[in-house]
C-alpha cells in the first residue's frame, strides 16, 4: 500500500516527472525589436484620419467624434507651413499620439499638400515630428494612392509611426457616408474634404523581432497600448507571441514587466527588458522545473503536463439530424490489435486556414487504417468554426477510418490554450503531452 501511495504522489506532478535527468546548457538570445507593424486589431479597424482645409496659416484643434458638440468654441493655433510647397489649397489632420507636448499633447499634426489629387497622383505629406507646429524643420514623405505609406510621428532612430492609405470609391460606402455625416455635425468652422479625400489610418503599434527555439521560428513583440511611442510602459504595454507576422493578437499576450515567463507551444522561457537598446533578452533553460502554480498560469499547455480531461462535442447523426454527443478526451483509450497502448494526436483545425491545406495530407495519412492494419496512433480532430454537416461528412469525403471527429468551441480553445491554427497535441498512452505542433512528416514517416 505504501508503494502504491508513493506512485500516486509521483503521478500528481506530471510536468516535473518529464524533465530530463541530465543537465542541458542555458541558451541566451538577444532580440532587437526595432521593426513596426499593425497588430490584428489595428488591421481590422476602420480608422479615418480626417483632413480639413488650412485657412491661411491656422489650424483648429483635433476633432473628437465622441466628445465634441455642435457649436462649441474651437482652439485655433498658427503654424509654419513647409518650404517649397506649390500654390493651391492644402490640408491638415491629426493622428492620435500621446507625446505630451503642448499645445496638442495627445495628437501629432499632419500637413498634406494639395489633397484634391490624393486619389490619382502622388502627394507630399509632413508630420510635425518635433511637435512645435513648424513644418520647416520636418521632412516629408511621398504618398502614392496605390500603395500604403509609412509616416513617422516622432524623431529618433525608432520613431512611432502610422500607415496611410485610402478608401476606394466603392469600399465601405455606408461607413464612409456615416463618418462624413458625423463629422459634419461637429466640424464647426472647419472645412472637411470628405472621407474619400482623407486617409485610412493604421497605427503601427507593435514593435517586434524574431528568434528560434528548438528549430521553430517565433515572433515576439511589444504592443504600445497607450500610443505614446515608448513600447516600455510596464503594466500597460503588452508582450505578444506570434507564429507569423499576420497573427499578433492580444490573446497571446501578457502585461509587460521587468522579467516575464512566457510559454509557447509547450516550451517555457524567461524574457527580460533591455530598455536602452529596445531589445528583449530570452533565456531558455531546458532544465527549468515549473511549479504546479506556474503550470496553471502558463499561457500554453506544457510538455510533460497531462492533457486536461475536457469535454468536446462529437460529430454524430441520429434520425437524419446532426447531433453533438459530448465526450471527454481521456475517455478514448486506444489500443493496437496486439493490445499495446497507442499514442494520440489531437488536431485542432479549421478548413479555411492556409496552413491546414499544407498539413491535411499528413493528417489524413494518419487518420486512415493502412492495408497492413498496423495503426500508428489514434487521431482526434476538433474542428473550429465548421458546420455539423461538414464535419460529420469529412471522414466519408476523405475516406478516413481511424479518426474521431468533434468540435472545438471558443471555451474549449481557451482551456486548451490554443496559440496557433491548426494546432497539434501529441499524447502518450497516459495522455501526457509529448509535443505540441510536432513535425507531421516525422509522425507519418518515423
Per-residue pLDDT reduced to its tens digit, 363-420: 999 998 887 777 778 899 999 988 888 888 898 889 888 888 999 999 999 999 999 8
* Cβ–Cβ under 8 Å, residues 75 and 102: no
* SS3 labels along the chain: CHHHHHHHHHHCCHHHHCCCCCCCCCEEEEEECCEEECCHHHHHCCCEECCEECECCEEECCCCCCCCCCCCCCCEEECECCCCCCCCCCEEEEEECCCCCCCCCCEEEEEECCHHHCCCCCEEEEECCCCCCEHHHCCEEEEECCECEEEECCCCCCCCEEEEECCCCCCCHHHHHHHHHHHHHHCCCCCECCHHHCEEEEECCEEEEEEEECCEEEEEEEECCCCCCCCCCCCCCEEEEECCCCCCCHHHEEECCCEEEEEECCEEEEEEEEHHHCEEEEEECCCCCCCHHHHHHCCCCCCCCECCCCEEEEEEEECCEEEEEEEEHHHCCCECCCCCECEEEEEEECCCCHHHHHHHHHHHHHCCCCCCCCCCEEEEEEECCCCHHHHHHHHHHHCCCCEEEEECCHHHHHHCCCCCCCEEEEECCCCEEEEECCCHHHHHCC
Question: What whole-number distance in Å separates Cα of residue 382 and Cα of residue 376?
Answer: 19
Is residue 306 one of the residues assigned to a domain? no
Q: How far apart are CA 376 and CA 415, in angstroms?
A: 27
Q: Is residue 302 part of a domain?
A: no
8 Å CB contact between 36 and 42: no
The pLDDT assigned to 14 comes to 43
At 155 the pLDDT is 86
Q: Of 177, 202, 227, at which residue does a domain stop?
A: 202
Residues 369 and 252 in one domain: no
Residue 397 lies in a domain: yes
Residue showing cell 494520440: 344
What is the pTM assigned to this prediction? 0.80
Categorize the per-residue pLDDT at 323 as very low, low, confident or very high, splitting at 50, 70 and 90: low
The answer on 349 and 284 residing in a single domain is no
Q: How far apart are the first and last CA of the chain?
A: 40
Which of the four pLDDT bands, split at 50, 70 and 90, describes residue 322?
low
Average pLDDT, the chain: 86
Residue-wise pLDDT for 197-243, tens only, equals 999 999 999 999 999 887 788 999 999 999 998 898 999 999 999 98
Give the chain's domain count. 3
- Domain for residue 183, yes or no? yes
Do 33 and 97 lie in one domain? The reply is: no
pLDDT in tens, 19-77: 344 557 888 999 999 899 999 999 999 999 999 999 889 999 999 887 888 888 889 99
**Ranges 37-41, 113-117, 192-196, 296-300: which has the least confidence:** 296-300
Q: Check whether residue 358 and residue 409 sit in a common domain.
A: yes
Shared domain for 75 and 31, answered yes or no, is no
User: Quick one: 139 and 211 in the same domain?
Assistant: no
Which of helix, strand or coil describes residue 94? strand
Q: How high is the pLDDT of residue 78?
A: 96
pLDDT at 94: 97
Q: What angle do CA 331, 333, 337 make, to 5 degrees?
A: 150
Residues 81, 97 share a domain: yes
What pLDDT shows up at residue 145? Answer: 92
- Give the chain's count of helices (H) and strands (E): 9, 27
Sheet holding 238-242, edge to edge: 35-37, 206-213, 216-223, 238-242, 253-255
* Dihedral angle over CA of 104, 88, 135, 146, nearest 10: 90
Q: Answer whether residue 304 is part of any domain.
A: no
Same domain, 114 and 29: no
In a shared domain, residues 106 and 249: no
CA distance 381 to 366: 11
Clarify whether residues 368 and 285 are in a common domain.
no
- Identify any residues that bridge with 34 across adjacent strands, giving them in sequence order: none
Final residue in a domain of this structure, among 297, 328, 352: 297
Is 10 within a domain?
Answer: no
Flag the least confident range among 89-103, 140-154, 229-243, 271-285. 271-285
Residue-wise pLDDT tens digits, 75-134: 999 999 999 998 899 999 999 999 989 999 999 999 999 998 899 999 999 999 999 999
Please check whether residues 69 and 191 belong to one and the same domain.
yes
Domain residues for the domain of 139 are 42-202
End residue of a domain, out of 202, 226, 247: 202
Q: Per-residue pLDDT averaged across 293-302, rounded?
A: 86
Query: In Å, what is the CA distance from 252 to each residue of 3, 100, 366, 417?
Result: 42, 30, 30, 9
Asked if residue 1 is part of any domain, the answer here is no
Split at pLDDT 50, 70, 90, the class of 182 is: very high
Residue 7 lies in a domain: no
From the number of C-beta atoms within 10 Å of its C-beta (0-12, 13-18, 19+), residue 106 rates as middle
Domain identity same for 61 and 189: yes
At residue 139, the pLDDT reads 93
Amino acid at each position: 500500500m505504501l508503494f502504491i501511495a508513493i506512485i500516486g504522489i509521483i503521478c500528481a506532478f506530471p510536468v516535473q516527472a518529464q524533465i530530463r535527468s541530465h543537465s542541458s546548457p542555458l541558451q541566451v538570445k538577444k532580440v532587437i525589436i526595432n521593426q513596426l507593424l499593425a497588430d490584428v486589431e489595428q488591421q481590422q479597424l476602420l480608422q479615418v484620419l480626417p483632413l480639413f482645409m488650412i485657412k491661411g496659416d491656422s489650424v483648429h484643434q483635433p476633432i473628437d467624434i465622441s466628445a465634441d458638440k455642435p457649436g462649441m468654441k474651437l482652439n485655433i493655433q498658427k503654424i509654419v507651413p513647409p518650404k517649397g510647397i506649390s500654390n493651391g489649397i492644402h490640408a491638415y489632420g491629426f493622428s492620435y499620439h500621446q507625446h505630451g507636448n503642448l499645445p496638442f499633447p495627445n495628437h501629432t499634426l499632419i500637413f498634406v499638400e494639395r489633397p484634391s489629387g490624393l486619389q490619382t497622383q502622388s502627394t507630399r505629406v509632413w508630420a510635425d515630428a518635433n511637435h512645435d507646429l513648424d513644418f520647416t524643420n520636418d521632412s516629408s514623405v511621398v504618398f502614392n494612392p496605390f500603395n500604403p505609406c509609412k509616416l513617422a510621428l516622432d524623431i529618433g532612430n525608432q520613431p512611432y509611426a502610422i500607415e496611410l492609405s485610402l478608401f476606394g470609391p466603392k469600399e465601405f460606402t455606408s461607413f464612409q457616408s456615416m463618418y462624413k455625416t458625423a463629422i459634419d455635425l461637429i466640424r464647426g468652422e472647419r472645412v472637411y474634404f470628405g472621407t474619400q479625400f482623407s486617409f485610412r489610418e493604421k497605427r503601427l503599434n507593435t514593435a517586434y523581432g524574431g528568434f528560434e527555439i528548438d528549430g521553430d521560428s517565433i515572433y515576439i513583440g511589444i504592443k504600445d497600448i497607450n500610443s505614446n511611442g515608448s513600447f516600455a510602459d510596464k503594466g500597460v504595454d503588452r508582450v505578444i507571441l506570434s507564429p507569423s507576422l499576420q497573427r499578433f493578437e492580444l490573446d497571446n499576450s501578457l502585461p509587460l514587466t521587468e522579467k516575464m515567463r512566457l510559454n509557447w507551444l509547450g516550451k517555457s522561457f524567461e524574457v527580460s527588458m533591455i530598455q536602452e537598446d529596445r531589445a528583449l533578452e530570452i533565456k531558455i533553460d531546458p532544465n527549468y522545473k515549473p511549479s504546479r502554480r506556474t503550470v496553471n498560469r502558463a499561457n500554453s499547455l506544457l510538455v510533460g503536463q497531462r492533457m486536461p480531461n475536457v469535454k468536446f462535442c462529437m460529430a454524430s447523426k441520429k434520425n437524419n439530424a446532426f447531433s453533438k454527443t459530448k465526450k471527454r478526451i481521456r475517455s478514448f483509450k486506444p489500443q493496437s490489435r496486439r493490445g499495446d497502448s497507442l499514442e494520440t494526436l489531437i488536431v485542432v483545425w479549421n478548413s479555411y486556414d492556409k496552413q491546414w491545406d499544407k498539413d491535411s495530407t499528413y493528417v489524413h495519412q494518419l487518420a486512415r487504417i493502412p492495408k497492413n492494419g498496423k495503426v500508428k496512433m489514434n487521431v482526434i480532430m476538433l474542428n473550429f468554426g465548421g458546420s455539423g454537416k461538414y464535419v460529420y461528412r469529412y471522414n466519408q469525403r476523405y475516406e478516413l477510418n481511424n479518426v474521431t471527429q468533434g468540435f472545438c468551441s471558443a471555451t474549449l480553445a481557451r482551456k486548451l490554450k490554443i496559440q496557433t491554427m491548426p494546432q497539434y497535441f501529441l499524447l502518450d498512452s497516459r495522455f501526457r503531452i509529448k509535443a505540441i505542433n510536432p513535425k507531421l512528416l516525422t509522425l507519418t514517416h518515423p
